[in-house]
Amino acid sequence: MENTRERILDVAERLFAEQGFSGTSLRQITGSADANLAAVNYHFGSKEQLIAEVFSRRFEPINALRLRLLDVLEADERPPTVEEIVEVFLDPPLRACLDPERGESLLHISQMIGHAMSRPDSTVRDVLLEQFEEIIQRFTQALGRQLDHLPPDQLLWRFVFMIGAMAHTMSISPELKILSKGLCDPADTEELVGAMVPFVAAGFRAPAP
């Protein structure tokens, strides 16, 4: 049974990434997963819950690690720097995306987020908000304590820009080495994170308009 469940999730993830959510039917998923509609109903109950499970199995481990690392930073007597907070946010998904065993699945997730943003769907939007609600709250609070010159709306804008930079880099990582003629190697996670963190931190520190 568990193999059937994982097989359905794997196929749904790939098809949602390739075709979008509305463009992918449960029959397509079950056909490719060598399963039946009864199996989808048994394991997930509905297409909406299947979408939620596809997102949560990839995001939950990453977000849990982010929160643990942030807890460690905030437990120190010395207040964390903007760079440290940004690194804790960026490092887990970038490392996971570039992990040979997990990279394709994270690329699928970034493609699915692209579908969700380009064709707004209330169900998918609610799923994404549920996955990120605590993350957004904790990290904007942590950043806000170090960036008290920023009004709340500007802090959130810059948080969105950070997510955009990360997601774009994840989505083009297979072609980045070719496009840069070898100057930028996304497989070198240390270099990638080391380049992105100061760039993002400088954006957060910029004066409010």
- Give the number of other Cβ atoms within 10 Å of residue 28's Cβ: 14
Mean pLDDT, rounded, for 41-57: 90
3-state helix, strand, coil in the chain (%, to 5): 80, 0, 20
Its pTM stands at 0.83
Tens digit of each residue's pLDDT (9 = 90 or more) over 172-188 = 776 888 888 888 887 78
- Please, what are the domains in the chain? 51-205 (1.10.357.10)
Mean pLDDT, rounded, for 72-78: 95
Q: What is residue 76's predicted lDDT score, i.e. its pLDDT?
A: 94
